[in-house]
Structure 1
């Protein structure tokens, strides 16, 4: 399996348009982690992503007849830009189908490289299906973003460059995984040339299609995927990539949103560049690997795969980075509703920086506060603070790992329900497109009363919604069927303590 890719990779025609990107030593990360950490800077490609390699290699190998008919692709960003630039360089007509939720900056970038764009559907899957349909109708060649040997070979040149740039021992290379084209190409080359080097895939914990496929020993389709790291939000690993990597990669690590945001900050601190969430994914996995295995004095390489991030998303990234570094704790604390109790509470916090403090009068006996405080980053520090507060009679609930608290509740504190509403609460991933809210409300058809609604836009292709509805529990299945039909990702949050304490009117 590996041998058949070596010649493909060596002959790959990527350097007509792609750059050989540097392998940069990360001094701050290396010192902090106790290992030699390097970043493979694919964010420095002309389209700010490695995707250009595979797209150009595939298109450059087309026959004259195929070139004359033009190429078509489906993508929400990086692959689209790679196909558009490749086609422009080779004088080929390109048509790109993009979801309607694609940020305007990415659509304009693709159009600026001479490609025609069609906006269709709210998700990649819908855009992909339509692009396949158009390819048949127009007799154009479909350029797959990852499930194609020529695309995989183009991405494999990243591995070839790494081994040329770092001739000494490499303990592990960490690779972001979406559809699997990049990790398949790197695995094929590195494991053939240096089989002792570990190849470790990294996925978001809410979009781990390779991780689940390896556990099942066959490809699986995830019911839904998280969209924060949209560049790797793929429901099923590619067939050809899975065939390449299943017997050769050493491990898959999953990371959460906070850990990805912390890795974006780490990359900025060392390089002054801003990675997109998928671009920082590999580094987040590298850090987790060091933490879990206590690795030291090793040479570790992370692929910084892209930098196509919207400026509006930086606010959200900054909010979550401190939690991802374990340097902010979010606590729900019960404080006696008597004069001087706040002062006593603040004295217990000592010299810690208070990052936020939310409170609203609700009960004559107890005050429930939502507080953020700085931390040294160690688990012992958190345990010490919680124990100190509890010893003084304060009830404490750790909210640091509670996504509902971080996404919504911290912005809603004080919004207790004034009476018993018998509401059921859901968090939704909401598409960012004109008319999305109207379409959603129309689909509900006035069947249930909306008792709570909180929405956040953080510059991505989706927004985050917390919704409460007054409905009998038996009707929740009908509501969920409505969400399934709309294609919204959702989680019921009625029993989530963050909601119960700060929006539902319960007490600790």
Structure 2
């Protein structure tokens, strides 16, 4: 019987038809910052800028090798899976239908069409992914097509495991991985890499990185069974999955809950901006998850260790950059929002501005409503160069008798007015 490792090795050899190994690069900046030897596995440098092409290729390869009269393939995705699927359709010369929500950004539609060319048809169905996925399933059954899942299938997991196969062969001679940090959405990548390393009997610690707003693996490990989340924060769209895959969880269920790090979305934005400004590396939110998790480890815990960080994707829509910068500033304490009770008199604004320091700047000023004849509620956003400046401002506001509320971290109010 063929072992899992043997199957992964064959998949890795076959995938060389599409692209060479993605590089494993020691990152000097992150290594200096953490005191560890940090290596980035650059899946953002694949032909579709994510690892998803691996699982899709392996699914097609094995389906066709099985002798199935496979003429039509289907997937439901608004992101990296769709692009990998489209690329593979063109490679094998097979027709594919991609179902996407109507709300999918045009940039993602265009990229999927570019990769698939004449072999791919895109259908926009439903406002949300669930409706889109149901439509894809119904079409698959009626057309006798092959549904290519994003993560919940053994052939997908085997394909994603080629990331682990490459890492094992790319480490400098005499060096082994003390720790591998893996982003987790549906779990296909994590299941594949951990299974491959277990088969190789490599003594490596695994850390799984999930968005705080989508802790499907963390909750499932705590419960000892798959848990479907009632609500998901979709900001980290490449990893915002309500339920870990059935087949991936079978591989991951014996890990302990403390092997999962939940990454705050705003902190993640700070990491994305940091990597863009300092290293010139463009990352999507899911692609930065594992890098951000380095912040959770005290320097003394990882000093001198060899840490592999899987960078899962770089398909970032730059129209999102203002939101990412905003979130990063708020996380770093450099931007805050207040609702002030503003007196309706001449000179009030001048008096207020006089309280600001030389490094403080008004980023937003907007009347919300007049609370009374003599006062109005004003939304004020303030940016500064040092988070400590807000302590000085708070003291000045108090001494000057200004009534206000800091709504920066109030999700309910901030979501309505910011």
- How many correspondences in the alignment? 405
The Cα offsets for residues 391-442 of structure 1, whole Å up to 9 and x where unpaired, read as 66555644332345554423xxxxxxxxxxxxxxxxxxxxxxxxxxxxxxxx
Change (3 A) 1:247 1:30: same
User: In the alignment, which residue of structure 1 is the partner of 2:150?
Assistant: 145
Say which structure, 1 or 2, has more relative contact order (CA 8 Å, 6+ apart). Answer: 2
- The aligned runs of 1:16-415 (5 Å cut-off) are 16-62=17-63, 63=65, 65-112=67-114, 113=116, 114-167=119-172, 168-193=175-200, 195-248=202-255, 251-287=259-295, 289-290=296-297, 296-332=303-339, 346=353, 349-358=356-365, 360=367, 363=372, 364=374, 370-374=380-384, 376=386, 386=394, 389-390=397-398, 393-394=401-402, 397-404=405-412, 406-410=414-418
Give distance in 1, aligned partners of 2:136 and 2:411.
35
Structure 1 unaligned regions, length at least 5: 411-508
SS in structure 1 of the partner of residue 241 of structure 2 = coil
Displacement, 1:218? Answer: 0.7
Residues in 1 aligned to 2:28 and 2:365: alpha-carbon distance in whole angstroms: 38
Matched-pair contact (CA < 8 Å) for 2:70–2:146: no
Kept in 1: contact 2:157–2:192 (CA 8 A) = yes
Distance in structure 1 (CA, Å) of the matches to 2:203 and 2:399 = 52
Asked whether 1:15 is paired with 2:22, we answer no
Partner SS state of residue 373, structure 1: strand
Q: Secondary structure at the match of 2:156?
A: helix
Counterpart Cα distance in 1 of 2:377 and 2:74: 59
Cα displacement string for residues 178-222 of structure 1 (whole angstroms, at most 9, x for unaligned residues)? 111011112212344465432222222222211211121111112
Secondary structure at the aligned position of 2:97 is classed as: strand
Task: Note the C-alpha offset of 1:56.
Answer: 0.3
The CA distance in 2 between the partners of 1:197 and 1:77, in whole Å, is 31
Matched residue SS, 1:118: strand
RMSD across aligned positions (CA): 3.1
Contact 1:386 1:396 in 2 (8 A): no
TM-superposed deviation, 1:42: 0.9
Deviations 1:291-321 (A, max 9, x none): 7997555443332211222232222222222
Find the residue that maps to 1:199 and give its secondary structure.
Answer: strand
Deviation (angstroms), 1:339: 7.3
Separation of aligned partners in 2, 1:296 and 1:340: 56
Rounded Cα–Cα distance in structure 1 between residues aligned with 2:105 and 2:138: 24
TM, length-normalised to structure 1? 0.71
Give how far 1:105 is off. Answer: 2.5
Contact conserved, 1:175 with 1:200, CA < 8 A, in 2?
yes
Deviations 1:314-362 (A, max 9, x none): 2222222222334333344567777777666556543333252525475
Normalising by structure 2, we get a TM-score of 0.84
What are the superposed Cα offsets for residues 262-301 of structure 1, whole Å, 9 maximum, x if unpaired?
22212212432322222222223332x1379975554433
